[in-house]
A = this chain, B = another copy of it.
Amino acid sequence: MKEICVGIIGFGTVGRGLAETLRIQQERLEARIGATIRLKTVADIACKSLPEEFAGVTLTQNATDIFTDPEIDIVVELIGGIEPAKTFLLQAIENGKHVITANKALLSTHGKEIFEAAVAKNVEVGFEASVGGGIPVIKALKEGLVANRINSIKGIMNGTANYILSQMTEHGTPFAEVLKEAQELGFAEADPTYDVEGVDTAHKLAILMTIAYGLNVNIDHINIEGISSIEPVDIDIAREFGFAIKLLAISNNHGDNVEARVHPTMVPHSHMLATIGGAFNGIHFNGDTVTDVLLYGPGAGMMPTGSAVAADVADIARNILSDSVNRVPALSYQPERMTAPVITPMSELVCAYYFRFTVSSEPGVLAAIATILGKYNISVQSIVQKELGEDQPVYLVVRSHDAQESAVNAAMAEIRVLDACLAEPLKIRILGAND
Contacts and interface: CB of A to CB of B under 8 A. Distances in A.
A143 B147 contact: no
Which one of A33, A287, A294, A323 has the greatest number of beta carbons of chain B within 10 Å? A294
A33 B327 CA distance: 8
B291 A304 contact: yes
Given A139-B140, A322-B324, A329-B32, A298 B304 contact: no
Which among A22, A135, A293, A296 has the greatest number of chain B C-beta atoms within 10 A? A293
A161 to B, nearest CB: 19
B318 A290 contact: no
Interface stretch (A162-170, A231-239, A306-314): A306-314
Interface string A22-50: 10110011011110000000000000000
Given A24-B288, A298-B290, A318-B327, A136 B145 contact: yes
A297 B307 contact: no
A214 interface: yes
A146 to B, nearest CB: 5
B134 A143 contact: no
A148 B315 CA distance: 14
A233 to B, nearest CB: 25
A112 B278 CA distance: 42
A193 interface: no
Given A32-B146, A139-B139, A319-B327, A289 B275 contact: no
A332 interface: yes
B291 A297 contact: yes
- Count of chain copies: 2
Contacts of A186: none
Q: Which of A21, A288, A290, A310 has its CB near the most chain B CB atoms (within 10 A)?
A: A290
A144 interface: yes
A296 B297 contact: no
Given A29-B147, A139-B144, A318 B322 contact: no
A177 interface: no
Contacts of A328: 318
A292 interface: yes
A364 B301 CA distance: 56
Interface in A300-349: 301, 303-304, 306-308, 310-311, 313-315, 318-319, 321-324, 327-329, 332-334, 337
B295 A293 contact: yes
A242 to B, nearest CB: 15
A413 interface: no
Contacts of A221: none
Contact of A25 (B149, B272, B291, B321): B149
A395 B434 CA distance: 41
Contacts of A148: 25, 28, 307
Contact of A289 (B304, B314, B337): B304
A248 to B, nearest CB: 17
A321 to B, nearest CB: 8
Interface in A217-233: none
A73 interface: no
A348 B29 CA distance: 31
Interface in A59-110: none
Contact of A290 (B24, B134, B313): B134
Interface in A169-210: none
Nearest to A34: B334
Interface of A: 21-22, 24-25, 28-29, 31-34, 128, 134-136, 139-140, 143-149, 214, 272, 275, 280, 287-298, 301, 303-304, 306-308, 310-311, 313-315, 318-319, 321-324, 327-329, 332-334, 337
6 contacts: A28-B149, A140-B140, A146-B311, A291-B301, A293-B297, A296-B296
The 7 closest A-B pairs by CB, nearest first: A136-B144, A324-B324, A147-B310, A322-B324, A134-B290, A293-B297, A289-B307
Given A136-B144, A140-B140, A291-B298, 20 more contacts: A24-B289, A25-B148, A31-B333, A31-B337, A32-B146, A32-B214, A32-B332, A134-B293, A143-B311, A145-B307, A147-B311, A147-B313, A272-B296, A280-B292, A289-B304, A290-B307, A295-B295, A322-B324, A324-B324, A327-B327
